[in-house]
Amino acid sequence: MPIASTDRPFDSDDNPRRTNAAGAGSASAASGAGVEAVTRVARRVQAVPGSGIRRFFDIIASMDHVISLGVGEPDFVTPWPISEAGIRAIEQGRTHYTSNLGLFELRAAIAADLERRYGVEWDPSEEMLITTGVSEGLDLAARAIINPGDEVIVADPSYAAHAPAVTLAGGIPVAVPTRASQGFALDPKQVEAAVTPKSKALLIAYPSNPTGAVLERPTLEALAEIARRHNLLVISDEIYDRLVYGGIEHTPIASLPEMQNRTITLGGFSKSHAMTGWRVAWAAAPADLMAGMLKIHQYAMMSAPTVAQYAALEAVRAGEEYVISMREEYDRRRQLMWRGFNNLGLACAEPRGAFYAFPSVAQTGYSDEAFAEQLLLREQVAVVPGSAFGAAGAGHVRACYATSYEEIEEALERIGRFLHHAPMAK
């Protein structure tokens, strides 16, 4: 029973690889679809694998008593004052479109917040856009800058939507492997080696889903230097910027010298404010790039959900205490999970951001897919195979600690029991 996609956009060796979207439209890429579907669906869509994670969740949905460390979203509900602001917007009849860019008040509040926290100044009238989730921002960024055949450098493993966003925009994702031994941080030397005359952009996302890695400032500076030297644009998905632990400070790459003018920054409320279902986020970019993104957004989306924008406004104005208290709780769970995996013999680098641990399961004798499948079937604990996030994720699993402390304790106990049956234990 395959539980994760094996037809992923990355090759399995250590070198950066180019996946040619146009060339990948074979019958196998349509994964089981009939000949009709192969010929009717556009080649660049066929070239994108279905989400390995989604397939896995379909299996989980059919089972009872599963402890899910699989889904990457907060277990907290949206803090009440934020929800109330949404309710108030409905009561007051604020149920119409907003400006295509989003409510000016919200753009201005986000811009002021970013300036206060990171010292980067964005003009809310032409450099900020409210999007329907960072998911939309990612799509807009890719479509606004990519010409057919342009290459975009992406870390492997990385969030499942990153490489597909590039492919769907007609570009070629070039995967640069990262390693557990380097804390899954992008290695600037490898990034530089992946640059070609076709390189258009670098897509980075730290803190990282799925590894929990953050980038130290010197690494970020080296990446910025590469971007400047090779005239690359940067798409920086910073959805987890508020979730860093142990005194680390997040640095947006746009805050580094001469970087703001070549960077599209994406941020949102889904993770920091437990607002996944509201579908609201923001993008900040230099005015020319933003004008391109706005064109796509106005035709494809018109404007982000209005009620959600009012809720987001409350999140920016008064949400800080909730962000801090949720982060403190995630930190407690992070320590439990990370130490718990290591105590069980599953080597796990300390995750320093987001809410994922990414332990190695190689020593169990299972592949990551078999580990996840067997763990689910035998002990009803759901984790996601690391290879669903790229070839370099193989041999690891992603476990999300945005679930209760007690459930994580119970999950670790079950995993301990499960390991007695692992091939290596026999």
**Residue matched to tokens 């609201």:** 280
Cβ-proximal residue to ligand PLP, closest one: 133
- Interface with ligand PLP (CB under 6 A), residue total 13
Regarding 72 and contact with ligand PLP (CB under 6 A), the answer is yes
Asked whether position 253 contacts ligand PLP by CB under 6 A, the answer is: no
Q: What is the closest distance, in whole angstroms, from the C-beta atom of residue 137 to ligand PLP in the complex?
A: 8
How many angstroms separate the CA atoms of 109 and 113, rounded?
6
Q: How many CB atoms lie within 10 A of CB 261?
A: 12
Stretch that binds ligand PLP, among 62-70, 127-135, 180-188, 340-348 (CB under 6 A): 127-135
Determine the distance from the C-alpha atom of residue 353 to the mean position of all C-alpha atoms in its chain, rounded to a whole number. Answer: 12
Run of H or E including 199: strand 199-204
Could you say which of 101, 163, 186, 281 contacts ligand PLP (CB under 6 A)?
281
For the beta carbon of residue 51, count every other beta carbon within 10 angstroms.
Answer: 15
b/e map of 73-110 (b: 16 or more CB within 10 Å)? Answer: ebbeebbeebeebbeebeeeeeeeebebbbbeebbbbb
Q: Does 309 bind ligand PLP (CB under 6 A)?
A: no
C-beta separation of 86 from 277 below 8 A: no
Residue 276 is a binding residue for ligand PLP (CB under 6 A): yes
As measured in angstroms, the least distance from the Cβ of 64 to ligand PLP is 26
Q: Which stretch binds ligand PLP (CB under 6 A): 7-15, 41-49, 128-136, 339-347?
A: 128-136
- Residue 134 in the binding site for ligand PLP (CB under 6 A): yes
* Nearest to ligand PLP of 238, 368 (CB atom): 238
Q: Which is nearer to ligand PLP, 206 or 338 (CB)?
A: 206
The smaller minimum CB distance to ligand PLP, of residues 401 and 418, is found at 401
Residues 343-382 that bind ligand PLP (CB under 6 A): none
Q: Which is nearer to ligand PLP, 46 or 265 (CB)?
A: 265
3-class secondary structure for 324-393? HHHHHHHHHHHHHHHHHHHHCCCCCCCCCECCEECCECHHHCCCHHHHHHHHHHHHCEECEEHHHHCHHH
Is residue 305 close enough to count as binding ligand PLP by CB under 6 A?
no
> Computed over its alpha carbons, how large is the radius of gyration of the chain?
21
H/E/C letters for each residue in 270-297? Answer: CCCCCCHHHCCEEEECCHHHHHHHHHHH
What residues contact residue 86 under an 8 Å CB cut-off, 6+ apart? Answer: 278, 307, 308, 310, 311
Q: Contact at 8 Å (CB) between 166 and 3?
A: no
Cα distance between residue 16 and residue 177, in whole Å: 7
Return the residues of window 188-247 that contact ligand PLP according to CB under 6 A: 205, 209, 237, 239
Is 5 an interacting residue with respect to ligand PLP (CB under 6 A)? no
Instruction: Decide: is 133 part of the binding site for ligand PLP (CB under 6 A).
Output: yes
Q: Of the two residues 270 and 303, which places its CB atom closer to ligand PLP in the complex?
A: 270
H or E stretch at 40: helix 35-40
Closest CA to 65 of 299, 407, 342: 407
- Interface positions, 135-174, toward ligand PLP (CB under 6 A): 135, 159
CB of 343 to ligand PLP, least distance (A): 27
- Which window, 130-138, 220-228, 285-293, 311-319, contacts ligand PLP (CB under 6 A)? 130-138
CB of 237 to ligand PLP, least distance (A): 5
Sheet holding 172-177, edge to edge: 17-18, 172-177, 151-156, 199-204, 233-237, 263-268, 281-284, 128-131
Of residues 25, 252, 268, 353, which one binds ligand PLP by CB under 6 A?
Answer: 268
Q: How far is the CB of 188 from ligand PLP (least distance, A)?
A: 21
The least CB distance from residue 110 to ligand PLP, in Å, is: 14
Nearer to ligand PLP, 204 or 375 (CB): 204
270 binds ligand PLP, rule: CB under 6 A: yes
Give the footprint of ligand PLP on this chain (CB under 6 A).
72, 133-135, 159, 205, 209, 237, 239, 268, 270, 276, 281
